[in-house]
């Protein structure tokens, strides 16, 4: 018997869905940049350039719109259809990020949905599968830990912008 997937309680999801989109999207792309930006091959980033990507956390009613631009992920306003939309629950995205579940299994169990450009979806999936991530634990998601990593990322980013 298959376990029932974990989802946020409906009132919690509705409350989270009322939060403004921009701060969450900014935190999300910062996390992507810290975790992925330096590891992406140039052929991958060439194919990502100009593509509108959307991540929907279904049970939290969150939508993050972003794109690859100037060697990093950036928040974008995308009122229309995205080139690629990935949708799943918060728990399923955590399982993917922590490598406790693979995208194919979640996709075939209908817990991960992919809409839009199939070739782009396969590129994203294969790229993520190929990258070696350090193990992800819930302790790493504590606000103090996330803020410390973001601070280091921004310090490094701004150091390259300062004139010498």
Helix (H) / strand (E) containing 84: strand 84-88
Q: Over pLDDT 70: what percentage of the chain?
A: 89
CA angle 142/27/130 to nearest 5° reads 85
Q: What structural domains and CATH numbers belong to the chain?
A: 10-158 (3.30.1050.10)
Q: What are 102-149's pLDDT values in tens digits?
A: 888 998 999 999 999 999 999 998 888 887 766 656 566 677 777 787
Residues 25-41 have a mean pLDDT of 87
If pLDDT is split at 50, 70 and 90, which confidence band does 1 have? very low
Q: What is the pLDDT of residue 8?
A: 81
102 neighbors 93 (Cβ within 8 angstroms): no
Of residues 84, 37, 30, the one with CA closest to residue 56: 84
Q: What is the pLDDT of residue 98?
A: 80
Q: Over pLDDT 90: what percentage of the chain?
A: 38
Full-model pTM: 0.76
Q: What are 57-75's pLDDT values in tens digits?
A: 999 999 999 999 989 999 9
CA distances for 118 relative to 36, 106, 155, angstroms = 21, 16, 36
| Mean pLDDT taken over the chain | 84
CA distances for 51 relative to 31, 34, 78, 143, angstroms = 19, 20, 11, 30
Q: Retrieve residue 150's tokens.
A: 């973001």
Q: What is the pLDDT of residue 163?
A: 62
Q: What is the pLDDT of residue 123?
A: 93
Residues 93-97 have a mean pLDDT of 86
Q: What is the pLDDT of residue 141?
A: 61
Distance in angstroms (rounded) separating the CA atoms of residues 102 and 104: 6
Q: What is the pLDDT of residue 135?
A: 61
88 neighbors 57 (Cβ within 8 angstroms): yes
Greater model confidence, 6 or 44: 44
Beta bridge partners of 114: 86
């Amino acid at each position: 018997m298959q376990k029932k997937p974990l989802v946020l309680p409906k009132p919690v999801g509705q409350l989270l869905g009322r939060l403004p989109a921009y701060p969450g999207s900014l935190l999300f792309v910062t996390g992507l940049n810290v975790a992925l930006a330096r590891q992406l091959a140039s052929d991958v980033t060439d194919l990502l350039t100009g593509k509108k990507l959307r991540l929907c956390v279904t049970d939290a009613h969150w939508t993050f719109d972003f794109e690859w631009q100037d060697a990093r992920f950036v928040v974008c306003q995308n009122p229309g259809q995205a080139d690629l939309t990935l949708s799943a629950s918060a728990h399923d995205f955590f399982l993917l990020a922590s490598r406790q579940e693979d995208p194919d299994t979640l996709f075939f169990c209908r817990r991960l949905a992919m809409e839009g450009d199939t070739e782009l979806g396969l590129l994203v999936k294969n790229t993520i599968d190929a990258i070696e991530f350090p193990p992800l634990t819930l302790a790493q998601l504590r606000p103090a830990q996330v803020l410390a990593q973001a601070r280091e990322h921004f310090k490094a980013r701004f150091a390259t912008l300062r004139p010498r």
